Amino acid sequence: MNIERQVEIFNKQAGKYYKRAKQKNMDFRLRSKLLQSATGNILELSVGAGMNFQFYPTLSRITAVDFSPKMLDQARIVAAEQGRQVDFRLGNVEEIALPEKNYDTVISSLSLCSYPHPDKVLTQMASWCKEDGKILLYEHGISTNSFVAWLQHKTNSFYMKRVGCHMNRDILKLVEESPLSIVKSEHYMLHTVHLIWAKPVT
């Protein structure tokens, strides 16, 4: 799928993401658990409607990237509601130029599923993060349960066309093969959902 089509798909979902940002469900609890580790100068990739801003320390410096103008519109509303100063960047995470070794915390939630080259993005994350910084990932992917995995493979192309994301990526393998070192990880919902606390390999 080309990038223009993917942007269209995410633009259409922006309102739905804004509503989700208000819900206190399992997704909220997982984000809260992971993102309480966020500190300092924060880089959030594929920010969507800004669902994570509420978990950052009040005075954080936040840079937020997304290629969907409509998602960024929603995220700007959320930032204003919370009194957050955010440097928003419209761009493709796979191509954007950001300063190296600059961020104390680099964050990605539910976005490694969407990139054509997630390995490239993980490499970039490691390069943008300070050597003593943190990389926090909340991602979904292929289950360790064979029936669920089969269903995920079967429905993958449908989900890609409808919501712009892959259901069957092996997130742990991708991270293990990247220049990130996993400090801690937790897994939920038959291993389809992962919280990962990592750092760049130095």
Ligand X SMILES: C[S@@+](CC[C@H](N)C(=O)[O-])C[C@H]1O[C@@H](n2cnc3c(N)ncnc32)[C@H](O)[C@@H]1O
Residue whose structure tokens are 């029936």: 147
What backbone phi and psi angles, to 5 degrees, belong to 80? -65, -40
Tell me which residue has its CB nearest to ligand X.
48
**Distance, CA of 201 to CA of 52 (rounded, Å):** 25
- Using the rule CB under 6 A, which residue among 43, 46, 86, 195 binds ligand X? 46
43 touches 128 (CB < 8 A): yes
**Least distance to ligand X from the beta carbon of 146, Å?**
25
Per CB under 6 A, contacts with ligand X among 126-185 are: 165
Residue 109 engages ligand X in binding (rule: CB under 6 A)? yes
Question: Which window, 77-85, 91-99, 152-160, 180-188, contacts ligand X (CB under 6 A)?
Answer: 91-99
Question: Which window, 55-63, 92-100, 167-175, 181-189, contacts ligand X (CB under 6 A)?
Answer: 92-100
Q: How many residues bind ligand X (CB under 6 A)?
A: 20
- Using the rule CB under 6 A, which residue among 60, 63, 74, 114 binds ligand X? 114
Q: Tell me whether residue 48 or residue 141 sits nearer to ligand X (CB atom).
A: 48
Residue 110 engages ligand X in binding (rule: CB under 6 A)? yes
Residue 38 engages ligand X in binding (rule: CB under 6 A)? no
**Least distance to ligand X from the beta carbon of 162, Å?**
12
Residues that bind ligand X (CB under 6 A): 10, 17, 46-48, 51, 65-68, 71, 92-94, 109-111, 114-115, 165
